[in-house]
């Protein structure tokens, strides 16, 4: 299994650094090889082609990202608190790895449609996780019935994603994690004035 050989991770980590520091279009295979400390040709012993590096990068990093969120959420009962934890984890993980944040929020989006489709496939389990939280919330009677779940998921994901992207583009100058509770509240209760 190629994925378990040390150079596999070595190359992926090099790719994250190179892309974060040079930008997507300035991240040539040779640059990634150099950063990884291997020859250009070696890359092709571990990856089919350049796109495969990026897809693998996303798979590895987002796989861990999602796994960690799933772990943390599992023991929580309330769907509402699950959602809060998801938001906090989403923000904290990207806050802790600035390189990865730049790569996922800004650089990889410059890829072509085909690659973005594959990236979306990797994200699928995350969206499914959101769906299941919403479903639980409905079952628990704390979320409105008759919700269009795809739409909910788009609202949650779109909001979180936009927030992280803005934070990255502002060069991470403010505390992203600190906004988790506020946005959780907004997603649950909306803009409207709440009485009492």
Residues in touch with DNA (CB under 7 A)? 2, 5, 7, 25-30, 38-45, 49-51
Nearer to a second copy, 44 or 157 (CB): 157
Taking the complex as a whole, the smallest distance from the CB of residue 43 to a second copy amounts, in Å, to: 18
Q: Is the dihedral of CA 122, 125, 128, 130 positive or negative?
A: negative
Taking the complex as a whole, the smallest distance from the CB of residue 171 to a second copy amounts, in Å, to: 12
**Residues 90/147, Cβ–Cβ less than 8 Å:** no
Residue 123 binds: one of DNA, a second copy, none (C-beta under 5 to 8 A by kind): none
Separation between Cα atoms, residue 46 and residue 3, nearest integer Å: 8
169 binds a second copy (CB under 8 A): yes
Q: What are phi and psi of 173, to 5 degrees?
A: -85, -15
Nearer to a second copy, 9 or 129 (CB): 129
Residue 42 binds: one of a second copy, DNA, none (C-beta under 5 to 8 A by kind): DNA
The helix or strand, by DSSP H or E, that contains position 80, with its residue range, turns out to be helix 79-96
Residues 124-153 that bind a second copy (CB under 8 A): 134, 137, 141-145, 147-148, 150-152
Both structure tokens of 154: 């788009």
Taking the complex as a whole, the smallest distance from the CB of residue 41 to DNA amounts, in Å, to: 2
**Residues 179/163, Cβ–Cβ less than 8 Å:** yes
42 binds a second copy (CB under 8 A): no
Count the alpha carbons within 13 Å of 176 in the hemisphere toward its beta carbon.
28
> Collapsing DSSP states into helix, strand and coil, what is residue 90?
helix
Nearer to DNA, 45 or 182 (CB): 45
Separation between Cα atoms, residue 148 and residue 142, nearest integer Å: 15
Q: Which residues bind a second copy (CB under 8 A)?
A: 23-25, 106-107, 109-113, 116-117, 120, 134, 137, 141-145, 147-148, 150-152, 154-155, 157-163, 166, 169, 179, 182-183, 186-194
């Amino acid at each position: 299994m190629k994925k378990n050989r040390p150079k596999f991770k070595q190359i992926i980590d090099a790719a994250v650094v190179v892309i974060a520091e040079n930008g997507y279009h300035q991240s040539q295979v040779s640059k990634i090889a150099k950063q990884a400390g291997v020859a250009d040709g070696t890359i092709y012993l571990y990856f089919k082609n350049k796109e495969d590096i990026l897809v693998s990068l996303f798979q590895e990093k987002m796989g861990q990202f999602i796994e960690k969120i799933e772990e943390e959420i599992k023991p929580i009962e309330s769907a509402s608190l699950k959602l809060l934890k998801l938001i906090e984890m989403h923000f904290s993980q990207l806050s802790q790895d600035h390189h990865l944040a730049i790569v996922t929020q800004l650089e990889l989006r410059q890829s072509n449609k085909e690659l973005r489709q594959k990236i979306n496939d990797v994200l699928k389990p995350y969206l499914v996780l959101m769906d299941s939280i919403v479903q639980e919330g409905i079952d628990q009677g704390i979320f409105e019935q008759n919700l269009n779940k795809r739409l909910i998921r788009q609202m949650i994901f779109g909001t979180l994603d936009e927030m992280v992207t803005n934070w990255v583009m502002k060069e991470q100058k403010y505390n992203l994690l600190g906004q988790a509770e506020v946005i959780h509240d907004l997603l649950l209760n909306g803009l409207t004035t709440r009485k009492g």
